[in-house]
Amino acid sequence: MSNGCGYEGCTVGETKRCALENDPATCPHRVTGSLVVEENAGDDTVDSNGSVGSPVLASPVETPTFPPSTTLALAAIDEMMVSRYVTVVGILGDPEAGKTACLASLYLLVSHAKLEGWSFADSRSLMAFEEIARGARRWNEGDPPAQMTVHTEMADDRQPGFLHIKLRRRSDDRSFDFALPDLPGEWSKDFIRTARSDRLEFMRSADVIWLVSDGRILSNKELRQGAITRLGQLAARLRALIIGKMPRLILVITHRDIVVPAVDTIRRIELELAKHDLEAEVVAVAPFSDDPNFGAGFGLDLLINATVREARKGEPFWPDSNPSEEQRSFLSYRRDND
Ligand SMILES: Nc1nc2c(ncn2[C@@H]2O[C@H](COP(=O)(O)OP(=O)(O)O)[C@@H](O)[C@H]2O)c(=O)[nH]1
Ligand SMILES: [Mg+2]
């Protein structure tokens, strides 16, 4: 039966000719407009006025989805920034320095309410924290892997992926949102070697930069100088990348469970940074510990305290730009353009 005809064997649809040899326009089996509406009464393409095409039912309210499970893109951090201040942390350092370990340990401490002075308030990237902490959890089950944190691989090697965590400071009940990127050490190496900085552009708007360094290397006579030189090169690259106000630098020295950073080494690093007119606060940490008598997570609370210590002073909202008496800017302008 063709659409619009009541006759069972109608062929107008296929052949344009009526099977009963009637004129299709006047065939008595033809179904009129009103019948079509009746036939289609349950069809949602016909509205109550009988006009075809407009939807009858409003589209359902979108059910809320789970937040994204992996790291957040820069755009998501920007969006978050619209409603509240987010402390953006840049994390640089050689591969294997302990960057991911710091993030994993921070998450594990907070999730067990063991970060001194801080408590967990929220996270938009819990699954990403879970992913990086997985190595540590396997270790806790008594099966120590060769590496406790999965080697950082970026899904997109041009864009940093951020972890978000909101912590509440016990002393004053103030909450801080942190955006922490888990960057592969290769990005720092490329930044030093080839000045490749496109994917590190976000550093310009970071509040704080953690320069993570392996404490064992800093205490090794043969390796120490190389690590200090690389920190200096990193400082030089940051100086070139960041035109305006420099984010505060924190030198994060890992493996505090194994070695205590020597005062002399820290002094040498400070001198190296000073060459580029930079200075850093030093925090020694042990995100994980090989020593049963030394608590894993040592210094992470101090690192977070140092990260929020001084909110970045913004540029003056309305800078004082009154011309001085002698300055004849307008006349000079005319003269320059004549
Ligand atoms: N014992 C000990 N191991 C650490 C410490 N920091 C990092 N590690 C280990 O060092 C290895 C490299 O750390 P990782 O965070 O992956 O380095 P990344 O490349 O800088 O992200 C991992 O196996 C960590 O568990 C620390 O303070 N103490
Ligand atoms: Mg890593």
Q: In whole angstroms, give the CA distance from residue 238 to residue 23.
A: 84
Residue with CA nearest ligand 1 atom 3 = 288
The pair of three-digit structure tokens given for residue 48, joined into one six-digit string: 């109550």
Distances (CA, A) of 231 to 164, 236, 244, 269, 271: 27, 9, 21, 7, 11
Q: Which amino acid is at 299?
A: G
Which residues keep their CB under 5 angstroms from ion ligand 2? 99-100, 152
Residue with CA nearest ligand 1 atom 6 = 98
Q: DSSP labels for 217-283?
A: HHT-HHHHHHHHHHHHHHHHHHHHH--SSPPEEEEEEE-TTT-PPPHHHHHHHHHHHHTTT--EEEE
**Ligand 2 center to 160 CA (angstroms):** 12
Q: Could you say which ligand is closest to the alpha carbon of residue 148?
A: 1
Atom of ligand 1 nearest to the CA of 101: 15
Residue range 74-308 in CATH 3.40.50.300: yes
**pLDDT at position 29, please?**
80
**Ligand 2 center to 286 CA (angstroms):** 15
| Ligand 1 pocket test target in 138, 149, 151 with most atoms within 8 Å of CB | 149
**pLDDT at position 40, please?**
45
| Ligand 1 pocket test target in 189, 255, 302 with most atoms within 8 Å of CB | 255
Residue with CA nearest ligand 1 atom 7 = 98
**Ligand 1 center to 52 CA (angstroms):** 65
Q: In whole angstroms, give the CA distance from residue 231 to residue 271.
A: 11
Q: In whole angstroms, give the CA distance from residue 133 to residue 137.
A: 6
Which stretches of 93-218 are DSSP H helices?
99-111, 126-140, 185-194, 215-218
Atom of ligand 1 nearest to the CA of 256: 27
Tell me which residues of the chain have a pLDDT lower than 50. 33-48, 66-69, 136-148, 312, 328-334, 336-338
**Domain-by-domain residue ranges, the chain?**
1-57, 74-308
Q: In whole angstroms, give the CA distance from residue 71 to residue 162.
A: 5
List of long-range contacts for 143-149, beta carbons under 8 Å, 24+ apart: 148/101, 148/104, 148/288, 149/100, 149/101, 149/104
Q: Could you say which ligand is closest to the alpha carbon of residue 210?
A: 1
Note if the pTM is more than 0.75. Answer: no
